[in-house]
Amino acid sequence: MSETWSGTPAISGISKSQRRLAALLADVIPGAATIRVHFQNPSRTWPHPHAHDTAGGLVPPTRTQANTAARWNMRAHPNAAPWGEVHEFHRASARLASAALTVVDRRR
């Protein structure tokens, strides 16, 4: 596996733009292995990201980091509808998946 931006590995089936997003998000929220994005806060219609490290611990982003990470994920994955559901971006694999699927996968 060859290395690209910020040490993000080149993975087959993943586009350069997806790897670039992973590298950029590593720079925006250092230490984040996954970033969850959703619109589930009823007080305002705006993306609400949550970042976690490899051990599952919370990596609290600043408001600017959170907004940037959420916007970049949504722009990079416009067809990941509905955004009312929680989606999780895995930085190591540069893939976005439904968080519901991620929970099921972890239980196996």
CA gap 92, 106 in Å, rounded: 16
Full-model pTM: 0.72
Backbone angles phi, psi at 90, to 5 degrees: -95, 110
pLDDT digits (tens, 9 = 90+) for 82-108: 777 888 899 999 988 888 754 444 444
Domains in the chain, number: 1
pLDDT value of residue 30: 93
Give the pLDDT band (50/70/90) at residue 5: very low
pLDDT digits (tens, 9 = 90+) for 41-67: 656 666 777 899 999 999 988 888 988
Distances (CA, A) of 2 to 25, 61, 77, 96: 19, 29, 24, 21
Identify the residue with better confidence: 40 or 75.
75
Segments forming the whole domain that contains residue 47: 5-107
pLDDT value of residue 10: 52
pLDDT value of residue 46: 67
Mean pLDDT of the chain: 77
Please, what sign has the CA dihedral across residues 75, 40, 42, 28? negative
